Chain A
């Protein structure tokens, strides 16, 4: 996702990546994004951008410290817990690690809410 120094402590940024082994004709649909938050010097959280209500892409509002969903008005705090609206679960997270100064996330299927 990038060098560890390119992420500031306390900030949440969008990171883009290519899905694992996409079909050759997938084109731009092979791209995905996640919200990456640097909590402190060596802790990161990677959130799925999919709202747990119906999967729409939540947006991070940096000054308000909130994620907001454009579809049905779901709101989440900076740690991904539900602040308001219909989402039944906190934002899903991807495993993150820092290896050789690089931040890496383990991509996963689009989280499908069962609740």
Chain B
């Protein structure tokens, strides 16, 4: 009886909307039989995006996008709202997963040569989605609206300000005025919550439409070349002969991976939670050390390590050039070998990109170029004297901020050379010359030290000797 009613309702919906048929057809479309675990990263990115949509909407229940109130709503979400801390964690690690998966998906598609004919636009829309994801990451960090967010907006404005001709206008647009203020937060809120998600939905739709139109690419075999004249026919024959329905034969892997990813994200959110809120978004608090979240930390490293003077060109044309090259890739080469075994340069390019980003990331995390403002005065055990010139010199070494940039033992900064054993390298006169005149990355101290102070400082540095056998 109930079954009959249910069947009739289902048939009626089927007939009037046609949706179950269409969806079923899409779900059961035939895919190459060997598309296995390597193919899960695209759906994993979508899965992470869905987590972001759900957790983002949940966060928006409490978040007020107002320059004066956002910070206290974040405090409320973190400390008082039921599951609020977990929710922030979910959104943060979901974002991290999305960036990671989009990277893995891209690397896999590149290594398998799947961007070649006829899937050029699959790749191009994917590159745009990568860009959207990074913009989401950056704007999301700003919505935390603490001290770090406020200074990140200023840093962003300084970068857009380097664009020729319209830089000033762009910087003004980024800040929402001449300074950080009431209009700043809302524009990033709109980008993060309306514009970018809208674009992501639209382009994910287009991306998936293209996947259905051209089919999932078959795993490459060495020697099997892509020829635009014959590829479609070959693919059709492969699918007709050996194709398997996406649902359920292939999709279960995507499902398993997605569920596993959600478990990991939830566990990280529960165990570690979201990043701590920093000080309030008050631009008059000068003691700040702005840092981007991890997915852009490598770029922070890039900006520090660029040759001085080249920043202007790099900040504007660097990202533009990389974006254009990535989009252009399938139009530059859309045929020929797909297998990574026959494309050593493709493998090398991926490895080099990974090594480069990883290295810059480690540098960005350590940021040896940043002065260490918290270095305590050197302890007597290191100084080796409690009075006299060596002792006074050690105090000056701290007071004159030498220690902010130089290491003595394990204390100090890492901007300049380690001076633990400097007396092994430099004579007294060489030291005086260097301290007086400075260097590329060192201030000249000539006008800043009295002669007696210079003598004491050099006496201290001359005592920095390590006996070598």
> Which A residues form the contact surface with B (CB < 8 A)?
14, 16-17, 19, 22-33, 49-50, 53-59, 61, 63-66, 68-73, 75, 77, 83-86, 88, 108-110, 112-115
The residues of A that contact B180 with a CB separation of less than 8 Å are 29, 110
Contact A50 B443 (CB under 8 A): no
Question: 10 closest Cβ contacts across the A-B interface?
Answer: A27-B68, A23-B182, A109-B178, A83-B443, A26-B182, A112-B161, A64-B401, A31-B284, A33-B284, A55-B154
Chain A contact residues: over half helix, strand or loop, or mixed?
A: loop
Q: How far is the CA of A17 from the CA of B284 in the complex (A)?
A: 8
**Among residues 367 to 417 in chain B, which have CB atoms less than 8 Å away from a CB atom of chain A?**
369-371, 373, 399-401, 404-405, 415
Given known A-B contacts A84-B441, A112-B167, A63 and B400 have beta carbons under 8 A apart: yes
Select one of A17, A26, A69 contacting B68, CB under 8 A. A26
Contact string against A for B residues 298-312, beta-carbon threshold 8 Å, 1 for contact and 0 otherwise: 001001101011011
- Knowing that A26-B67, A27-B66, A109-B179 touch, tell me 14 more A-B residue pairs with CB under 8 angstroms: A19-B181, A25-B66, A27-B67, A27-B68, A29-B68, A29-B180, A55-B157, A57-B286, A58-B286, A68-B373, A70-B371, A75-B443, A84-B438, A88-B311
Looking at B19-27, B268-276, B287-295, the stretch in contact with chain A turns out to be B287-295
The residues of B that contact A77 with a CB separation of less than 8 Å are 443
Q: How far is the CA of A50 from the CA of B287 in the complex (A)?
A: 12
Contact B303 A54 (CB under 8 A): yes
The residues of A that contact B284 with a CB separation of less than 8 Å are 16-17, 31-33
The residues of A that contact B285 with a CB separation of less than 8 Å are 33
Q: Is B34 an interface residue (CB 8 A)?
A: no
Q: Is B440 an interface residue (CB 8 A)?
A: yes
CB-based nearest B residue for A18: B284
- Give chain B nearest CB distance to A23 CB in angstroms: 3
The residues of B that contact A58 with a CB separation of less than 8 Å are 286
- Give chain A nearest CB distance to B60 CB in angstroms: 18
Q: Is B135 an interface residue (CB 8 A)?
A: no
The residues of A that contact B52 with a CB separation of less than 8 Å are none
> Which B residues form the contact surface with A (CB < 8 A)?
66-69, 71, 150-151, 154-155, 157-159, 161-162, 167-168, 171-172, 175, 178-185, 280-290, 300, 303-304, 306, 308-309, 311-312, 369-371, 373, 399-401, 404-405, 415, 438-444, 448
The residues of A that contact B371 with a CB separation of less than 8 Å are 68-70, 73, 75
Given known A-B contacts A56-B155, A64-B400, A84-B441, A110 and B370 have beta carbons under 8 A apart: no
CB-based nearest A residue for B441: A84
Q: How far is the CA of A63 from the CA of B445 in the complex (A)?
A: 12
Q: How far is the CA of A71 from the CA of B117 in the complex (A)?
A: 45
Contact B286 A110 (CB under 8 A): no
Contact B155 A55 (CB under 8 A): yes
Given known A-B contacts A54-B158, A72-B303, A59 and B286 have beta carbons under 8 A apart: yes
Contact A33 B303 (CB under 8 A): no
- A-B CB contact pairs (8 Å), 15 listed: A27-B67, A28-B282, A29-B150, A31-B283, A55-B155, A55-B158, A63-B401, A66-B443, A68-B401, A69-B371, A71-B300, A73-B369, A88-B309, A88-B312, A109-B172
Contact B175 A110 (CB under 8 A): yes
Contact B401 A85 (CB under 8 A): no
Q: How far is the CA of A17 from the CA of B441 in the complex (A)?
A: 33
- Give chain B nearest CB distance to A17 CB in angstroms: 8
Contact A72 B181 (CB under 8 A): no
Given known A-B contacts A19-B179, A49-B286, A84-B443, A25 and B162 have beta carbons under 8 A apart: no
The residues of A that contact B309 with a CB separation of less than 8 Å are 88
Q: How far is the CA of A23 from the CA of B405 in the complex (A)?
A: 40
The residues of A that contact B167 with a CB separation of less than 8 Å are 112, 114
Q: How far is the CA of A22 from the CA of B183 in the complex (A)?
A: 9
Contact B415 A54 (CB under 8 A): no
Q: How far is the CA of A76 from the CA of B180 in the complex (A)?
A: 24
The residues of A that contact B399 with a CB separation of less than 8 Å are 63-64
Contact A114 B68 (CB under 8 A): no
Given known A-B contacts A29-B68, A32-B284, A86 and B311 have beta carbons under 8 A apart: yes
Select one of B171, B184, B283, B311 contacting A112, CB under 8 A. B171
Select one of B150, B181, B369 contacting A23, CB under 8 A. B181
The residues of A that contact B306 with a CB separation of less than 8 Å are 86
Contact A83 B182 (CB under 8 A): no
Q: How far is the CA of A64 from the CA of B311 in the complex (A)?
A: 28
The residues of B that contact A70 with a CB separation of less than 8 Å are 288-290, 370-371, 373
The residues of B that contact A113 with a CB separation of less than 8 Å are 158, 161-162
The residues of B that contact A14 with a CB separation of less than 8 Å are 286
Q: How far is the CA of A23 from the CA of B69 in the complex (A)?
A: 13
- Give chain B nearest CB distance to A88 CB in angstroms: 7
The residues of A that contact B303 with a CB separation of less than 8 Å are 54, 72
Contact B369 A25 (CB under 8 A): no
CB-based nearest B residue for A107: B179
Contact A65 B66 (CB under 8 A): no
The residues of B that contact A32 with a CB separation of less than 8 Å are 179, 283-284
Q: How far is the CA of A114 from the CA of B72 in the complex (A)?
A: 35
Contact B448 A71 (CB under 8 A): no
